[in-house]
Structure 1
Amino acid sequence: MSQQPPVRSTSSPPPRPDASMSLLTNVTDHALDDGYAEAAARRSAGGTGLPGRLRARLGLAAALLLSAAVVTLGAVQAQISAPTLAKEREQLINRIQSETAAADKLQESVDALRDSVGSTQREALRKQGGDRAELVSLLAGATPVQGPGVKIVVDDAKQARTSGGGPRESSGFSDTGRVRDRDMQRVVNGLWQSGAEA
């Protein structure tokens, strides 16, 4: 009689009886969390440093506190300097008003001196000019005149007034639309050529 070799089963081993309780098995096998294990290893190695996250949070909190302190100090400084700025502004306004009043007085003085010079010129022309004194005085512009006349208003072009810049902004001789001395000379010469007497 021949013997047959034993039959081997190719199927998988039977499941463990505690397979349905893998969570409980994991908890019992690993009683400590990995973080606790790391902290314990650090303590045993002699390190007492803080974890990275806690260190980052503490750094952020310190930066926020520093920012708040800087802003608070700036606000306090601004509040302290506000009365000083108001006082300086008041002094500046008073100075402007006093200088404006002084300029007005000087302008009145200039006007009075101009009238005095004009009357002195007229008197000198009357003495030196003889019968032609009135004509010379009239041509020199030293005598006020009355009668029919022409009123001419000369002003800068509209675009020159709205463009901003002052009359000395451009150094060239291009036409900027602003009134210049040669323009006034042409107007006066044209008036004399047309028969203006004064």
Structure 2
Amino acid sequence: MPAPDSALGGADRVRMLIPLPGLLRSLLTEHLDPGYAAAAAERERTGGSRRPWATHGWQALAALLIAVVFGAAMAQARSTAPGVNAAQQVLAASVRSAEGTTDRLTRRRDELSGQADDIQRRQLRDDATGRDLLSRLDALSLAAATTAVIGPGLTVTVTDPGMARDLTDVSKQRVPGSRQVILDRDLQLVVNSLWASGAEAISVGGVRMGPNVTIRQAGGAILVDNHPISSPYTILAVGPPNNMRDTFDHSGGLQRLRLLEASYGVGVSVANGDGLSLPAGTVREIKFAKQIGP
């Protein structure tokens, strides 16, 4: 019988060249590298489990440097705090003084405007042409929201839910990180719906709505003609109450409020009222005008 071919090496030589079962066995049984065990034994023999004094010294030095830096920062903050507080007080006093001056000038302007209006009316009542001109001026003043208005109408009150339980879910927060639900576009839609319902004059949060008045969002605040308003938002609309109510009940503005009421717990109240008082709007002078068209 011929001997196994030396070129092939035979079955025994093939088993010696493929030591895979032994390698797999070692990987499954020996989970740690032998070097870890040797290092642990050397540390136990030489007592090297404690760190050298040099390491502790560097750590102490680093801690001392950190303490020095924080101490210097605190000292600097304390030294500059009086100056910062003084500057803040000066700025706050300046703002209060400017606000007082503005309020005083505004009252004076309103008084002079009222006196001029009274003189104008007395002069125009003398003849038919003047009375016709006066009636047209009154209509324009009402459209421009420059005269105070008292009459019947609707009162719409919208209240943010505040601490309502269903707002703990962030998916129900219209403003991330805030409990505010009512946004500027909601009040805009309500005001537009009241105009479409037949309102003759509207105020939002005590601010008269006119041609140059806007409702917009600034962060978490709602500004009406640059005056901040907060919940509850009160909207007064002077006009025929019954006809306005019938139309407003089917308007997009009230439907939006009802949807917010059902989804977020917003408080919505619509009521008829008599003797609603709306202030006059701010009079703005037009300094630049350009004719559009022929």
- Structure number with higher helix proportion: 1
Alpha-carbon distance between aligned partners in 2 of 1:92 and 1:158, rounded to the nearest angstrom:
34
- Structure number with higher strand proportion: 2
Alpha-carbon distance between aligned partners in 2 of 1:182 and 1:114, rounded to the nearest angstrom:
32
For 1:129, give the aligned amino acid.
Answer: A
Q: 1:166 to 1:88 in 2, by over 3 A?
A: farther
Q: Is residue 2:63 matched to residue 1:58?
A: no
Alpha-carbon distance between aligned partners in 1 of 2:117 and 2:193, rounded to the nearest angstrom:
26
Alpha-carbon distance between aligned partners in 2 of 1:151 and 1:86, rounded to the nearest angstrom:
51
Q: 1:138 to 1:95 in 2, by over 3 A?
A: closer
Partner of 2:96: 97
Partner of 2:158: 157
Q: What is the TM-score with the length of structure 2 in the denominator?
A: 0.36
Please show how residues 18-167 of structure 1 align to structure 2 within 5 Å. Answer: 53-129=52-128, 136=135, 140=139, 150-152=151-153, 154-155=155-156, 157-159=158-160, 163=180, 167=184
Partner of 1:20: none
**Residue 132 (structure 1) shift:** 5.7
Cα RMSD of the aligned pairs, angstroms, is: 4.2
Runs of 4+ in 1 over 4 A off after TM superposition: 130-133, 137-142
Q: 1:166 to 1:111 in 2, by over 3 A?
A: farther
**Residue 116 (structure 1) shift:** 2.1
Partner of 1:183: 194
Contact 2:160 2:180 (C-alpha < 8 Å) held by counterparts: yes
Partner of 1:4: none
**Residue 101 (structure 1) shift:** 1.2
Which structure carries more relative contact order (alpha carbon 8 Å, separation 6+)? Answer: 2
**Residue 102 (structure 1) shift:** 1.0
**Structure 1 gaps, min length 5:** 1-33, 36-50, 171-175
For 1:188, give the aligned amino acid.
Answer: E
Q: 1:154 to 1:94 in 2, by over 3 A?
A: same
**Structure 2 gaps, min length 5:** 1-44, 163-178, 202-238, 244-294
Contact 2:152 2:241 (C-alpha < 8 Å) held by counterparts: no
Q: 1:54 to 1:160 in 2, by over 3 A?
A: closer
Q: Which piece of structure 1 moves more, 106-115 or 154-163?
A: 154-163
Computing the radius of gyration over CA atoms, which structure comes out larger, 1 or 2? 1
Q: 1:131 to 1:84 in 2, by over 3 A?
A: closer
**Residue 58 (structure 1) shift:** 0.9
Q: 1:102 to 1:77 in 2, by over 3 A?
A: same
**Residue 79 (structure 1) shift:** 0.8
Partner of 1:11: none
Alpha-carbon distance between aligned partners in 2 of 1:56 and 1:86, rounded to the nearest angstrom:
45
SS of residue paired to 1:187: coil
Alpha-carbon distance between aligned partners in 2 of 1:131 and 1:89, rounded to the nearest angstrom:
56
Identity of aligned residues (%): 20
**Residue 84 (structure 1) shift:** 0.6
Alpha-carbon distance between aligned partners in 1 of 2:241 and 2:117, rounded to the nearest angstrom:
22
